[in-house]
């Protein structure tokens, strides 16, 4: 496949080479949680769950949450984090481009998966997100803003891959998704970049 594969991510987690990890849940997830975006009992998917910080916060809030990750080491780390806090959540090793939930869910929290996938796979991934959600379900997305040197000359560099907001509007087209009006909240990222926080509703 284009871009990093499962072995790439497994090696990162095995060696602790995870500079994107804040050591805590994203502050934007906490703001959305406090605003009532994840009601108790609602079904939530977290693709690319990584170290499990967000899984733990969502489980603690009472959501029926399932995390997905490509790398067995990430799945193990997430499961351990949940166990340390006595929390229950599903954690699955899965390819997000192939996996499907048993039934559509209420919410998808997209923070790290899109920017970790090579852009060649973005169209397939966006179709998956649409299929995972029930009509009226919401995609809570943090679009990574990280243009790399060479982008002006057409080079595609990552991960993380730059999720230009114009590209996101085309990827999550208005015929399938309802977009809020900008401006979108900027969320500072430890990599020195920032994310744009956007809540999309599945049509």
H or E element at residue 8: helix 6-15
Residue pLDDT, tens place only, 134-147: 999 999 999 999 99
Question: At residue 95, does pLDDT exceed 80?
Answer: yes
In angstroms, the Cα distances linking 6 to 50, 109, 127, 147 are 12, 21, 21, 24
| Rounded Cα distance, 65 and 89, in Å | 5
pLDDT band at residue 98 under the 50/70/90 scheme:
very high
| Rounded Cα distance, 6 and 139, in Å | 24
Write the DSSP symbol of residue 113. Answer: S
Q: Which of 49-58, 110-119, 184-193 has the lowest mean pLDDT?
A: 184-193
- Cα dihedral 117, 122, 127, 132, rounded to 10, equals 20
Asked if the bond preceding 160 is cis, omega within 30° of 0, the reply is yes
Q: Provide the mean pLDDT of the chain.
A: 96
Task: Give the HSE-up count for residue 62: Cα atoms under 13 Å, Cβ half-sphere.
Answer: 6
Enumerate the β-bridge partners of residue 189. Answer: none
More confident site: 190 or 172: 172
pTM metric for this prediction: 0.95
* Mean pLDDT (whole number) for 56-60: 98
Contact 77, 50 (CB under 8 A): yes
* Mean pLDDT (whole number) for 84-91: 97
pLDDT band at residue 191 under the 50/70/90 scheme:
confident
| Rounded Cα distance, 127 and 139, in Å | 12
Contact 60, 87 (CB under 8 A): yes
Contact 57, 85 (CB under 8 A): no
């Amino acid at each position: 496949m284009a871009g990093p594969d499962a072995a790439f991510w497994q090696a990162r987690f095995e060696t602790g080479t995870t500079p994107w990890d804040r050591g805590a849940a994203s502050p934007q997830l906490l703001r959305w949680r406090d605003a009532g975006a994840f009601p108790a009992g609602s079904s939530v998917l977290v693709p690319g769950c990584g170290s499990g910080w967000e899984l733990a916060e969502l489980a603690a809030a009472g959501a029926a949450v399932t995390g997905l990750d490509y790398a067995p080491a990430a799945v193990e780390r997430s499961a351990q984090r949940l166990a340390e806090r006595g929390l229950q959540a599903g954690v699955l090793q899965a390819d997000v481009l192939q996996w499907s939930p048993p039934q559509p869910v209420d919410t998808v929290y997209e923070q790290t998966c899109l920017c970790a996938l090579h852009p060649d796979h973005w169209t397939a991934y966006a179709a998956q997100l649409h299929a995972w959600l029930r009509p009226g379900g919401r995609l809570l997305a943090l679009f990574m803003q990280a243009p790399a040197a060479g982008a002006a000359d057409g080079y595609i560099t990552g991960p993380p891959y730059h999720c230009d907001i114009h590209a996101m509007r085309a990827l999550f087209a208005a015929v399938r998704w309802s977009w809020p009006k900008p401006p979108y909240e900027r969320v500072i990222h430890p990599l020195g970049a920032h994310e744009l926080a956007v809540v999309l509703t599945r049509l």
